[in-house]
């Protein structure tokens, strides 16, 4: 069975690279442009892993994560923050909220892939 | 007119006065009671029966000699602003309740001096009151047609009952408060009312006599001028008369300040200093009006009756002679008004003096100390009530035994000369700090004795013995001791002569003893306070120097006896709060001593207050040098306290400023951090895109489809452009921020620039299906940097597009002219600006609060750059408030 990944980011160019990469890795890829779109998708899908940006319009990454953590059906879903915010305080906050990993932009595609695979296998 | 009708009229009239006084007392805060006109009219208590009837008598007998009595006050009036204001201020500050209190306080609460002043005032005022009663009695007799009836005993004499009624009136409204320094609004209102009546009625009778009985002023003048010795009646006769006039003017000048009733109305009943400003011209005007017809009435009477006997009552006799008893009644009531106000105010003033400066300090103090508070207050009031009755009744008997023989004018002048003996200690004491209590006492006594010898004794003796041997030959036949011509000065009228000698001796004594004797420290202390009152007002309670040992509880006990538990406690609380002392302070200081004396002064007079307080404290003697030192210190203390307070205020202001500045710095710092964060984020985003795409493209193992490859390359290009723009913006902003931008001003059409801006952004707008409307299509040319203004417009437009919702979005660009500037507005129907952001959206680095986690809608530089450009053009930019839907950003470009 194909692993499912949800990519949540408002920058189309970045999304495109990630989508291409994970399709190559044989993932089923879902895309959301912000937190509210992501939550909409999560009503019907239970992905194995979610790549989550923090700075997004409407519903931001933190709010989205909190929502996910409060949803029972998603308790096995891994959440990885992928963001330009790289201050120590930001990282601490993200992990405290319950993210499984905290990765920063700009990123190496290879590194992201290996980190995600590590989580889902 | 029937006796009973007349009495009925009098009673009705008194009832009206009672009513007025009652209403005024009840509505004592109303502006009908507290205004400069009431104040001025109350000063007119000066015009008593003497003015009302006596002036005409003088005018008939000796021509214009009635005038000096009014010229003195007229000359004094302009000086009130300086002199009277000072007196009022001091009196208010020290809760003075009479002129005796005032003088005694000036000389260090001297008990004897206060009593002496009271005695002088009594001697000066009693005959004066009896003069008023005489006028009532005589006019009553003239008015009643029952000529055969002559009162023989007190019980039959209607004057006696009138006197009693006046006493009741004065008692009722004069002793409402124990504190005599409180205002008597009821009495003052009725006095003002009476002042109007007496003036109006006097003018009415003047007009009636001059224009109805005779054919105007010229007619009277022509008729009288052919009579014998007319000239002597209308002109001054040489130097002697000049002297007489001079002394009479000086006498009345002093009287307007010193008469107890004048002190009462002008100082004690004054509730606003500014009322003086109106009084200084209105009061002389009142006196002038009162005197307009005097001479004509006198001449008319002389022409009609041929004799000057009863000349004082021409105003009554003339209308009666012509059968006009209605007018005569009016005149009678006017005169009666003059009497009532004079008698009531005088007895009120005198009773306060008698109780506070004579009876209480000389007999009742010990009793008070042992008494219960409620009883004390009752006692004080009763002493005053009994005083009022005693004074009026004494005046009545004085009238019965002496005044019947004398004219109104001569009794009035005796009063004036006696009262004038207070002048040196009063006036000089106000301005000369060396004036001492001993000097004041000796001067006053000497002057008083001389007045008695030169004025009172001759009258009394001739009234008793029926001969004028005393005046003819002098004491024991020594011609130098002739009472009317001491040491050969025989050219003055008796009052002027008495005034001259008494005042000379009084003044000499006062000056000599002031210079040779130094008062004790307390005296000097009060002297300083009076003379230098302006400076000492700031010292307040600490102005009194006092050294010794005293306990708050002892002083409180004394206060309770006179003020009652509640008032005493409240007063002390106020004191402790004022000086920021703890409520349980045990040892009293000079300020509390002074404060307590002041509190008691209103009730029992300053001398008694001092004695009372002294009875519970242990005072140490202080040398004069010490006094001056302490005074200097307390002055300095106040000054340095003031300076300290100012400094501390300055400091706290400074610290607030510093705090603000610090907060601003912190906020700036935070903003800068946020800005850098945002810039970093913005830079990282395209770099992330470029890096990821490049990495994917570089993977040679990957068989990427051609279209995908092309798309990634396109993305890289897009991100690179974005990066370039961003860097440009940052640099641009930096340039504007540091003021290194130079505008390329050109004469351009603003309409064309707007069109250019709209078309440059139309693609983005079309993509989002947002409509842009160019509202004003008129062209207008002015000087500006077109490229920069284009930047501004593009910024505002793209901002508006960003906030508009797709499809329904609508943006209106408009401009209007006015006030030497073009005002351009960009209005959208988007989500609008949060209220808390209105003032900040143009600030550099400023981004809406929640942008830290939400995706910022730009670099945070767009509007800041826009603002810089507009301001470089000397224009302004702002967001319109109260826009219902969406936002409206407006900027101006000035032109000349």
**Which has the closest alpha carbon to B181: B260, B117, B264, B116?**
B264
Per-residue pLDDT tens over the stretch B25-57: 788 777 777 788 888 888 888 888 888 888 888
Domains and CATH numbers, chain A: 3-120 (3.40.50.2300)
The confidence score (pLDDT) of residue B854 equals 41
Q: HSE, CB side, 13 Å, CA atoms: give it for residue B404.
A: 9
Measured between alpha carbons, how far is B769 from A121 in angstroms, rounded to an integer? 46
Nearest to A84 among B681, B853, B854 (CB): B681
Distance of CA B91 to the CA centre of its chain: 14
Angle between helices B624-698 and B521-531 (to 10 degrees): 60
Residue B459 has pLDDT above 90, yes or no: no
Residue A52 has phi, psi (to 5 degrees) of -125, 125
How far is Cα B626 from Cα B349, in angstroms, rounded to an integer? 38
Give the mean pLDDT of B93-111: 84
In this complex, the residue of A13, A61, A108 whose CB is nearest that of residue B689 is: A13
Over residues B668-695, the pLDDT tens digits come to 777 777 777 777 888 888 899 999 999 9
pLDDT at A6 over 90: yes
B654/B279 Cα distance (integer angstroms):
48
**How far is residue B122's CA from residue B124's CA, in Å, rounded to a whole number?**
5
Beta pairing class for B746-749 and B781-784:
antiparallel
C-beta of residue B33 within 8 angstroms of C-beta of residue B189: yes
Interface test with A, best of B670, B674, B689, B852 (most A CBs within 10 A): B689
Q: Give the pLDDT mean for B527-540.
A: 65
* Per-residue pLDDT tens over the stretch B127-166: 888 888 888 888 888 887 655 445 555 556 777 887 888 8
> Does residue B630 carry a pLDDT above 60?
no
Distances, alpha carbon B666 to alpha carbons B192, B673, B838, in Å: 69, 10, 21
Residue B234 has pLDDT above 70, yes or no: no
Read off the pLDDT band of B485 (50, 70, 90).
low
- CA–CA distance, B180 with B347 (Å, rounded to integer): 13
Q: Residue A28: its pLDDT value, please?
A: 94
Cα–Cα distance, B451 to B449 (Å, whole number): 5
Number of helices (H), then strands (E), in chain B: 38, 9
Q: Which residues contact B729 (CB under 8 A, 6 or more apart)?
A: B859, B861, B862, B865
Of chain B, the end-to-end C-alpha distance in Å amounts to 92
Q: Return the SS3 of B620.
A: coil
* Residue B596: band (very low, low, confident or very high) from pLDDT cuts 50, 70, 90: confident
Residues of A in contact with B849 (CB under 8 A): none
SS3 state of residue B784: strand
Does residue B368 register a pLDDT over 60? yes
Kindly report each contact of residues B239-247 with a partner whose C-beta sits within 8 Å and lies 24 or more positions away, as own/partner. Answer: B239/B491, B240/B491, B240/B492, B243/B491, B243/B492, B243/B496, B244/B65, B244/B68, B244/B492, B244/B493, B244/B496, B245/B65, B245/B68, B247/B492, B247/B495, B247/B496, B247/B499, B247/B500
What are B827's strand-pairing partners?
B812, B888
Residue B339 confidence (pLDDT): 87
Sign of torsion over alpha carbons B841, B845, B849, B853: positive
Q: Is B477 within 8 Å of B471 (Cβ atoms)?
A: no
Nearest Cβ partner for A13 among B677, B693, B854: B693
The residue that leads in pLDDT, B566 or B753, is B753
Identity of the residue in B686, B692, B853 whose CB atom sits nearest the CB atom of A107:
B692
Map residue B340 onto helix, strand or coil: helix
pLDDT for res A17:
93
pLDDT-based confidence at B88, cuts 50/70/90? Answer: confident
Question: How far apart are alpha carbons B539 and B639 in whole angstroms?
Answer: 10
Q: Residue B857: pLDDT band by 50, 70, 90 thresholds?
A: very low
Contact A19/B at CB under 8 A: no
B383-412 pLDDT, tens digit each = 888 888 888 888 888 887 765 566 666 777
pLDDT of B851 higher than 50: no
- % pLDDT > 90, chain B: 10
pLDDT band at A47 (very low <50, low <70, confident <90, very high): very high
B685 and A106 Cβ atoms separated by less than 8 Å: no
The sign one gets for the Cα dihedral A27, A32, A36, A40 is: negative
SS3 B395: helix
A66 interface with B at CB cutoff 8 Å? no
* Higher-scoring residue by pLDDT: A24, B307: A24
Give the confidence band of B573 by pLDDT, cuts at 50, 70, 90: confident
Cα–Cα dist B690/B684, whole Å: 10
Least confident segment among A53-62, A93-102, B636-645, B784-793: B636-645
Question: If residue B823 lies in a helix (H) or strand (E), which one and from where to where?
Answer: strand B821-828
Question: Beta-strand (E) ranges in B117-208?
Answer: none
How far is residue B14's CA from residue B422's CA, in Å, rounded to a whole number?
A: 34
pLDDT value for B753 = 92
Taking contacts as CB-CB distances below 8 angstroms, the residues of chain A near B692 are: 13-14, 17-18, 21, 106-107, 109
- Whole-number Å distance between alpha carbons of B239 and B91: 41
Return the top range by mean pLDDT from B67-76, B142-151, B210-219, B536-545.
B67-76
pLDDT-wise least confident of B134-143, B513-522, B872-881: B513-522
Q: Phi, psi (5° rounding) for residue B308?
A: -100, 5
Cβ separation A24–B702 shorter than 8 A: yes
The complex's ipTM works out to: 0.94
Q: Which residue of A has its CA nearest to B857?
A: A57
**Domains of chain B (ranges, CATH numbers):** 3-409 (1.20.1730.10), 421-531 (no CATH), 541-622 (no CATH), 627-737 (1.10.287.130), 746-894 (3.30.565.10)
Contact A17 B692 (CB under 8 A): yes
- Mutation pick from B853, B856, B857, B858 vs chain A, by most beta carbons of A within 10 Å, is B853
At A104 the three-state DSSP class reads: strand
SS3 B521: helix
- Which stretches of chain B sit within 8 Å of chain A by CB? 677, 680-681, 684-689, 691-693, 695-696, 702, 708, 711-712, 715, 718-719, 853-856
Segment of A15-19, B318-322, B377-381 carrying the highest mean pLDDT: A15-19
Collapsed DSSP state (helix, strand, coil) of residue A49: strand
The rounded Cα B10 to chain-centroid distance in angstroms is 38
Measure in Å the smallest separation between the Cα of B803 and chain A Cα atoms: 12
What is the average pLDDT value for chain B, to the nearest integer? 80
What's the rounded Cα separation, in Å, for the pair B751 and B816? 11
CA atoms within 13 A on the CB side of B12: 7
Indicate if the pLDDT at residue B853 is higher than 50.
no
Using alpha carbons only, give the angle A103, A105, A107 rounded to the nearest 5 degrees.
80
- Kindly give, in sequence order, each residue whose CB lies less than 8 Å from that of residue B169, ignoring residues fewer than 6 positions away: B14, B17, B18, B21, B340, B344
* pLDDT at B872 > cutoff 50: yes
How many other C-beta atoms are found inside a 10 Å radius of the C-beta of residue B503? 23
Residue of A nearest to B689 (CA): A14
Over 70: is that where the pLDDT of B825 sits? yes
CA distances from B85 to B261, B268, B345, B748, B749 (A): 17, 11, 21, 72, 72
Cβ proximity of B803 and B834 under 8 Å: no
Say which of A17, A18, A55 has its CB closest to residue B681. A55
Residue range B831-841: average pLDDT? 75
Residues B227-233: contacts with CB under 8 Å, at least 24 apart: B227/B302, B227/B303, B232/B63, B233/B62, B233/B63, B233/B64
What's the pLDDT tens digit per position in B263-318? Answer: 988 888 888 888 888 888 899 999 888 888 888 888 888 888 877 777 888 888 88
**Is there a contact between A57 and B719 if contact means CB atoms under 8 Å apart?**
no
- φ and ψ of B828, to 5 deg: -125, 170
pLDDT reported for residue B307: 72
Read off the pTM.
0.60
Greater pLDDT, B606 or B436? B436
Report whether pLDDT(B232) > 60. no
- Residues paired with residue B879 on neighbouring β-strands, in sequence order: B889
> Contact, B283 vs B78, CB < 8 A?
no
A50 backbone dihedrals φ, ψ, rounded to 5°? -125, 130
Query: B762: Cβ–Cβ under 8 A, 6 or more apart, which residues?
Result: B772
B784/chain A closest Cα distance in angstroms: 37
Q: Which residues of A touch B856 (CB under 8 A)?
A: 55
Contact B692 A85 (CB under 8 A): no
Q: How confident is the model at residue B359 (pLDDT cuts 50, 70, 90)?
A: confident
Confidence of residue B358 (pLDDT cuts 50, 70, 90): confident
The answer, yes or no, to whether residue B536 has pLDDT greater than 60, is no
Give the residue, B100 or B646, on which the prediction is more confident.
B100
> pLDDT value at position B149?
46
Q: What is the 3-state secondary structure (H, E, C) of B850-890?
A: HHHCCCCCCCCCHHHHHHHHHHHCCCCEEECCCCCCCCEEE
Neighbours of B389 (CB within 10 A): 18
Cis previous bond, B85, omega within 30: no
What is the per-residue DSSP string for B640-700?
HHHHHHHHHHHHHHHHHHHHHHHHHHHHHHHHHHHHHHHHHHHHHHHHHHHHHHHHHHH-T
Mean pLDDT score across all residues of chain A: 91
Residue B345 · residue B261 · CB < 8 Å = yes
Set of chain A residues whose Cβ sits within 8 Å of the Cβ of B858: none
Query: With 0-12 CB in 10 A as exposed, 13-18 as middle and 19+ as buried, what is B644?
Result: exposed
Of the listed ranges B219-233, B421-435, B499-513, B818-832, the least confidently predicted one is B219-233
What pLDDT is recorded for position B628?
57
Provide the edge-to-edge strand list for the sheet that holds B771-774: B771-774, B810-818, B821-828, B888-894, B877-879
Q: Note the residue count of chain B.
A: 896
How confident is the model at residue B626, as a pLDDT? Answer: 59
Nearest to B853 among A11, A13, A55 (CB): A55
Q: Does A109 touch chain B (CB under 8 A)?
A: yes
């Amino acid at each position: 069975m194909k692993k499912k990944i949800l990519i949540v980011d408002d920058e189309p160019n970045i999304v495109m690279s990630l989508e291409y990469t994970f399709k190559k890795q044989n993932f089923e890829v879902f895309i959301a442009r912000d937190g509210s779109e992501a939550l909409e998708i999560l009503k019907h899908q239970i992905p194995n892993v979610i790549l989550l940006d923090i700075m997004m319009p409407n519903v931001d990454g933190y709010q989205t994560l909190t929502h996910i953590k409060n949803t029972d059906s998603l308790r096995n879903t891994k959440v990885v923050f992928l963001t330009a915010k790289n201050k120590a305080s930001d990282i601490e906050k993200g992990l405290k909220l319950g993210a499984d990993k905290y990765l920063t932009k700009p990123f190496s595609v290879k590194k992201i892939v290996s980190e995600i695979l590590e989580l889902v296998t | 007119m029937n006796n009973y009708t007349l009495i009925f009229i009098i009673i009705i009239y008194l009832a009206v006065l009672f009513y007025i006084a009652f209403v005024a007392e009840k509505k004592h805060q109303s502006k009908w009671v507290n205004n400069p006109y009431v104040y001025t009219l109350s000063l007119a208590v000066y015009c008593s029966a003497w003015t009302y009837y006596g002036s005409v008598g003088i005018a008939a007998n000796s021509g214009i000699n009635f005038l000096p009595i009014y010229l003195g006050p007229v000359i004094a009036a302009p000086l009130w602003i300086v002199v009277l204001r000072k007196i009022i201020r001091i009196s208010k500050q020290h809760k003075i309740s009479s002129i005796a209190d005032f003088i005694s306080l000036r000389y260090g609460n001297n008990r004897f001096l206060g009593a002496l002043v009271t005695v002088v005032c009594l001697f000066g005022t009693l005959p004066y009151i009896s003069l008023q009663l005489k006028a009532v009695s005589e006019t009553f007799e003239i008015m009643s047609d029952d000529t055969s009836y002559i009162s023989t005993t007190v019980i039959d004499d209607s004057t006696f009952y009138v006197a009693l009624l006046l006493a009741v009136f004065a008692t009722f409204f004069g002793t409402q408060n124990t504190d005599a320094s409180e205002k008597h609004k009821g009495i003052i209102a009725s006095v003002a009312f009476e002042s109007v009546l007496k003036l109006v009625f006097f003018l009415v009778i003047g007009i009636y006599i001059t224009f109805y009985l005779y054919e105007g002023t010229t007619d009277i003048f022509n008729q009288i001028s052919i009579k014998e010795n007319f000239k002597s009646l209308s002109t001054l006769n040489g130097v002697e008369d000049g002297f007489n006039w001079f002394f009479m003017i000086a006498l009345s000048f002093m009287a307007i300040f010193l008469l107890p009733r004048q002190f009462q109305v002008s100082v004690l009943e004054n509730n606003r200093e500014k009322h003086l400003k109106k009084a200084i011209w209105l009061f002389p005007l009142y006196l002038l009006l009162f005197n307009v017809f005097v001479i004509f009435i006198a001449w008319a009477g002389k022409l009609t009756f041929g004799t000057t006997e009863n000349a004082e009552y021409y105003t009554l006799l003339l209308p009666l002679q012509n059968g006009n008893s209605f007018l005569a009644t009016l005149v009678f009531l006017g005169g009666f008004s003059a009497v009532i106000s004079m008698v009531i105010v005088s007895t009120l003033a005198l009773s306060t003096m008698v109780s506070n400066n004579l009876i209480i300090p000389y007999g009742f103090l010990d009793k008070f100390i042992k008494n219960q508070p409620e009883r004390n207050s009752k006692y004080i009031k009763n002493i005053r009530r009994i005083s009022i009755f005693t004074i009026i009744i004494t005046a009545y008997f004085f009238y019965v035994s002496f005044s019947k023989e004398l004219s109104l004018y001569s009794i009035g002048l005796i009063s004036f000369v006696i009262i004038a003996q207070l002048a040196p200690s009063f006036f000089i004491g106000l301005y000369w700090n060396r004036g001492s209590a001993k000097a004041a006492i000796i001067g006053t006594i000497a002057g008083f004795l001389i007045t008695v010898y030169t004025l009172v004794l001759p009258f009394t003796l001739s009234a008793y013995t029926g001969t004028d041997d005393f005046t003819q030959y002098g004491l024991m036949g020594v011609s130098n001791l002739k009472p009317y011509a001491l040491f050969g000065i025989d050219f003055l009228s008796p009052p002027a002569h008495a005034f001259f000698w008494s005042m000379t001796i009084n003044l000499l004594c006062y000056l000599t003893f002031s210079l040779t004797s130094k008062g004790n420290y307390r005296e000097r202390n009060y002297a300083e306070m009076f003379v230098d009152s302006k400076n000492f007002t700031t010292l307040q309670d600490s102005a009194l120097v006092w050294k010794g040992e005293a306990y708050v509880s002892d002083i409180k006990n004394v206060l309770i006896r006179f003020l009652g538990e509640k008032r005493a406690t409240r007063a002390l609380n106020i004191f402790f709060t004022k000086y920021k002392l703890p409520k349980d302070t045990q040892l009293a200081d000079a300020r509390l001593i002074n404060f307590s004396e002041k509190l008691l002064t209103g009730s029992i007079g300053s001398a008694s207050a001092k004695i009372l307080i002294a009875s519970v404290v242990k005072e140490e003697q202080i040398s004069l040098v010490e006094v001056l030192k302490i005074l200097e210190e307390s002055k300095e203390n106040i000054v340095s306290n003031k300076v300290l307070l100012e400094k501390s205020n300055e400091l706290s202001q400074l610290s607030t400023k510093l705090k603000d500045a610090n907060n601003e710095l912190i906020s700036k710092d935070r903003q800068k951090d946020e800005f850098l964060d945002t810039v970093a984020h913005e830079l990282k985003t395209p770099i992330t895109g470029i890096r990821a795409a490049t990495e994917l493209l570089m993977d040679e193992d990957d068989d990427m489809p051609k279209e995908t490859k092309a798309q990634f390359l396109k993305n890289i290009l897009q991100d690179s452009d974005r990066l370039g723009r961003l860097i440009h913006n940052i640099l641009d902003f930096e340039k504007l921020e540091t003021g290194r931008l130079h505008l390329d001003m050109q004469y351009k059409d603003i309409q064309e620039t707007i069109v250019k801006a709209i078309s440059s952004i139309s693609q983005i707008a079309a993509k989002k299906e947002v409509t842009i409307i160019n509202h004003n299509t008129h062209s207008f040319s002015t000087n500006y940097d077109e490229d920069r203004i284009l930047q501004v417009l593009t910024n505002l437009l793209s901002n508006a597009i960003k906030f508009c919702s797709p499809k329904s979005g609508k943006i209106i660009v408009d401009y209007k002219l006015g006030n030497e500037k073009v005002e351009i507005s960009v209005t959208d129907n988007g989500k609008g600006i949060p209220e808390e952001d209105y003032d900040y959206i143009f600030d550099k680095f400023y981004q809406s609060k929640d942008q830290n986690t939400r995706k910022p809608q730009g670099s945070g530089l767009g509007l800041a750059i826009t603002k810089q450009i507009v301001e470089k053009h000397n224009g302004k930019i702002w967001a319109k408030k109260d826009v219902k839907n969406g936002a409206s950003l407006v900027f101006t470009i000035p032109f000349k």
